[in-house]
A = this chain, B = another copy of it.
Amino acid sequence: MSAAPVWSVDPRTGNPREQVAVEATAEEVDRAVRAAHAVRDALADRTGRAAFLRTAAELLEESGEHIVEAADAETALGPARLTGELARTAAQLRAFAEVVDEGAYLDVHIDHQDGSRTPPWPDLRRYKIPLGVVAVYAASNFPLAFSVPGGDTASALAAGCPVVVKAHPDHPATSELCASVLRRAAARTGLPEDVLTLVHGFDAGVELIRHPLVSAAGFTGSVRGGRALFDAAAARPVPIPFHGELGSLNPVVVTGAAAAERAGEIGAGLGGSMTLGAGQFCTKPGFVLVPEGAAGDQLLKTLTETVSSTGSGVLLDHRMRDAFVTGVRERAALPDVGAPVTPGAGGEHTVSAGFLTVPAARLTAEGPHDALLEECFGPVTVIARYASVDEIAAVLARLPGNLTATLQTAAEDADPDAARLLAALTPLAGRILVNGWPTGVAVAPAQHHGGPYPATTSTSTSVGATAIERWLRPVTYQSTPEALLPPELREDNPLGLPRRVDGRRA
């Protein structure tokens, strides 16, 4: 049997560009994982890891032009967006280098022997150690920031875990380029290149999640694909943590007062956010509760203008284009559903943006309209017109978990419904926005990019400093002589780590 070729495809034409690799066989996946496992001790040194991450950022920027060109050719996301994504990806690698340097993530706790406790305390010293080889499943829609050199990889390497990345088929050439940059960065900082390897192919992805030496996995993609891998991770003889980001509707509630105050601004902002990157953001506002009446009508008027003036766009691949066209057609055909700007097929290879409307009353109980409460990947959003705050609450109570939930409210203290609605939105998502738009995810310590299922399959985040927690486990040393303790846990704190001693910050 000859190896299946992996082609880079131009989504603007549907034509293959070049063969960039072959799919990995089960033996090749096994070799990649074993090679990663074999070099795990090389990542034990924090200083070396931080240097590696910074060098990776540098080399990524050095090859920036070349990478952006390749990524644009196979994703059609455009050079401007991709240049920004590359800068973000490099900044993210550097942010994790800082996390490693500071060492707070090690979560050092020291409790001295204390016979007065119930029961008595022996000397106990805890910190966190890396889990082992991490499998990273790259995203389609962020060929850099959520793919080979992205947040899952950066946080896993920062934690001291070697990584095997399963490339996304929408950008294999970019993946190869980025993997070679990361491997070069490893070599330049004196680390073995196998701290990161890349494999291609659907079957390779399945082999990877089942491999006994894989200790954890990160995933960004669809609910269907992510759930299948989550199930495989849970079904292993030794189950492993599966941190998947699967799908999100990202509801927005526009209060009556907000619509009355700034219908035009909200309509224009929504139009910009939902069509950004051809609607292919995991944080696209896909469901918006807008009041019935004149102010809401005005909002829709501006939205109509904004969306109508958006040119047609190219989705990441033709399968997605087909799914989008079918998805919006089915939704638009439901009773009482309108399409002020009809989303759907543009040219032979493009799609055009649009939005659908529905009375919120159609969504307060189970029925065929529940399709409108499922994410539709691409430049479309659903506007549900509501008659009362109680109706908003009834619809929100039926929503699945989300990455984000947004409240559009009136100027400070002027909105009687704001507090109640914010309280209703909080259980629905991991990030709550007021008077902003969810597209755009800052890489910051206070960031949380995750949320109730199916937004994510765990309670952790894939963006921001705390993403490192996913790849660590605590270990406590009891009554261990100083000479045998890891330096992180020694009494005199030779590494100058932040720590808690006897239950207090020290």
Interface size on A, residues (CB 8 A): 80
How near does chain B come to A249, taking the closest CB pair, in angstroms?
15
Interface centre among A117, A121, A436, A459 (most CB of B within 10 A): A459
Task: Report which of B117, B121, B432 forms a contact with A480, defined as CB distance below 8 A.
Answer: B432
Cβ of A88 under 8 Å from chain B: yes
Hey, what's the 0/1 contact readout for A14-35 against B, CB within 8 Å counting as 1?
0000000000000000000000
Q: Nearest chain B CB to A444's CB is how many angstroms away?
A: 4
B interface footprint on A464-483 (CB within 8 Å = 1, 0 otherwise): 01100000111111111101
User: Does residue A3 face the partner (Cβ distance < 8 Å to B)?
Assistant: no
List residues of chain B with CB within 8 A of the CB of A448: 126, 474-476
Of the listed stretches A134-142, A337-345, A411-419, chain B binds: A411-419
Assembly CA distance A350 to B446 (angstroms): 57
Q: B residues within 8 A CB of A496?
A: none
A64 beta carbon closer than 8 Å to chain B: no
User: Does B436 contact A478, Cβ atoms closer than 8 Å?
Assistant: yes
A409 to B479, CA, bound (A): 12
Asked if A494 lies at the interface with its beta carbon under 8 angstroms from chain B, I say no
Judged by a CB distance under 8 angstroms, whether A373 is at the interface is no
Q: Is the CB of B434 within 8 A of A450?
A: no
Least Cβ–Cβ distance between A18 and chain B, in angstroms: 31
Please indicate the chain B residues that have their CB under 8 angstroms from the CB of A432 in the complex.
475-478, 480
B120 touches A442 (CB 8 A): yes
Which of A125, A440, A475 is packed against the most chain B CB atoms within 10 Å?
A475
Q: Mark A425-451, 1 if CB is under 8 A from B, else 0.
A: 010011111111000101111111010
Query: Binary interface profile of A, 84-95, with partner B (CB < 8 Å = 1, else 0)?
Result: 100110110000
**Cα distance A412–B401 in the bound complex, in angstroms:** 54
Known contacts A413-B483, A448-B475, A459-B131: does B429 contact A124 (CB below 8 Å)?
no
**Copies per complex of this chain:** 2
Q: Determine whether A109 belongs to the interface, using a CB cutoff of 8 Å to chain B.
A: yes
In A119-154, the 8 Å CB interface with B consists of: 119-122, 124-126, 129, 131
Whether B473 and A435, one on each chain, are in contact in the complex, defined by CB atoms closer than 8 angstroms, is: no
Q: Is the CB of B434 within 8 A of A480?
A: yes
For the complex, is A461 an interface residue (Cβ under 8 Å from B)? yes
Q: Is the CB of B478 within 8 A of A434?
A: yes
Chain B residues near A234 (CB-CB < 8 A): 230-231, 234-235, 239
In the complex the two chains form, what is the Cα distance from A19 to B459 in whole Å?
41
- Chosen A-B contacts, 10 in total, with CB atoms closer than 8 Å, are A119-B443, A126-B448, A234-B234, A238-B454, A432-B475, A432-B478, A433-B479, A434-B480, A445-B503, A448-B475
Task: Please provide the 7 A-B residue pairs with the shortest distance between their CB atoms, ordered closest to farther.
Answer: A234-B234, A109-B446, A124-B446, A91-B118, A448-B476, A459-B473, A111-B446
Please name 15 further chain A to chain B contacts, defined as beta carbons within 8 Å, in addition to the given A125-B446, A430-B474, sorted by A numbering.
A87-B119, A98-B503, A111-B446, A122-B436, A124-B447, A126-B447, A238-B452, A241-B458, A241-B459, A418-B484, A432-B477, A433-B478, A446-B500, A448-B475, A505-B505
Give the B-binding residues of A (Cβ under 8 A). 84, 87-88, 90-91, 98, 104, 109-111, 117-122, 124-126, 129, 131, 230-231, 234-235, 238-239, 241, 400-401, 409, 412-413, 418-419, 422, 426, 429-436, 440, 442-448, 450, 452-454, 457-459, 461, 465-466, 472-481, 483-484, 498, 500, 502-503, 505
